[in-house]
Structure 1
Amino acid sequence: MKKVLEIAGFLALVQGVAGVVHEFTDWNWGFVHRLGFLDGYEVYASVALIALALALFAAAENSGGR
């Protein structure tokens, strides 16, 4: 379970950082800016993904190495 949480946290972190980088540099990479229903809220969604990643990493640490 720890590995699953770490992988999900890593993916959320990468997509969150990609969304923030896309908003401020106009590099065309990441997934958040491609979702139509988030139009205008991409930065908020990216920051939420980064916060989710931190929560997933904390949950992975508390789950132990079982």
Structure 2
Amino acid sequence: MKKLLELIGFLALAQGVLGLVHEFTHWHVGLVQRLGFLDGYEVYASAALVVLGCALFAAAESRRPD
């Protein structure tokens, strides 16, 4: 379970950072800007993904090793 939380945390953190990079540099990276229902809220969604990724890493650290 710890490895799964770490993997999902990494994916969320990576997509959040890539979404923020896209918003501030206009590079076409990440998935957040490709989701139509997030139009106008990409920065908030990316920031939420970064926070979620950090929370998942913290949850993985609190678990005992598998």
Decide: shared fold, TM above 0.5: yes
Query: What are the Cα deviations for residues 10-62 of structure 1, in whole angstroms up to 9, with x where unaligned?
Result: 00000000000000000001000000000000000000000000110000001
In structure 2, list runs of 5 or more residues that go unmatched.
none
**Percentage of pairs with the same residue:** 68
**CA drift at 1:64:** 1.4
Distance in 2 between residues matched to 1:3 and 1:63, nearest whole Å: 10
Aligned residue pair count: 66
Distance in 1 between residues matched to 2:25 and 2:54, nearest whole Å: 24
* Counterpart for residue 10 of structure 2: 10
TM-score by length of 2: 0.98
TM-score by length of 1: 0.98
In structure 1, list runs of 5 or more residues that go unmatched.
none
Question: For the aligned residues, what is the CA RMSD?
Answer: 0.5
Distance in 2 between residues matched to 1:29 and 1:53, nearest whole Å: 18
